Amino acid sequence: GAVVSQHPSWVICKSGTSVKIECRSLDFQATTMFWYRQFPKQSLMLMATSNEGSKATYEQGVEKDKFLINHASLTLSTLTVTSAHPEDSSFYICSARDVVRTYGYTFGSGTRLTVV
């Protein structure tokens, strides 16, 4: 079945530094990638939608200059948290659409980001 590989699975960084999270679709082409974050005891919340070769669409309240999304190929999308602050500490997870299976959305395993 469709697999999305997400790295790193966890990362600790210092306040003010940037962190890059990668999501790769291993056996299908992901024209669309969704990025979510989940704060403790809350639901997964959509941050942005990226389409290969075009700019990402950000949800209301998500700063596009802080959360840089790049989807340069059909198998790779990256989320860079720039100038991270402790309030950015969260669980980030991506989801990609398998265009062959109309309803198929596959998740990565998530990244736990802690900013100290």
Partner 1 sequence: ILNVEQSPQSLHVQEGDSTNFTCSFPSSNFYALHWYRWETAKSPEALFVMTLNGDEKKKGQISATLNTKEGYSYLYIKGSQPEDSATYLCAFRNNFNKFYFGSGTKLNVKP
Rounded to an integer, what distance in angstroms lies between the CA atom of residue 53 and that of residue 113? 27
Instruction: Check residue 109 for interaction with partner 1 (CB under 8 A).
Output: yes
DSSP string of 49-112?
EEETTS--EEPTT--TTTEEEEEEETTEEEEEE-S--GGG-EEEEEEEEETTSTT-EEE---EE
Number of residues forming the site for partner 1 (CB under 8 A)? 21
Contact characters 18-37, partner 1, x per CB under 8 A? ----------------x-x-
The answer to whether 14 contacts partner 1 (rule: CB under 8 A) is no
- Quote the least distance from Cβ 83 to partner 1, whole Å: 27
The answer to whether 113 contacts partner 1 (rule: CB under 8 A) is no
Max alpha carbon distance in the chain (Å)?
A: 42
Query: Binding of partner 1 at residue 107 (CB under 8 A)?
Result: yes
Task: Point out which residues bind partner 1 (CB under 8 A).
Answer: 4, 6, 9, 34, 36, 41-46, 93, 95, 103-110
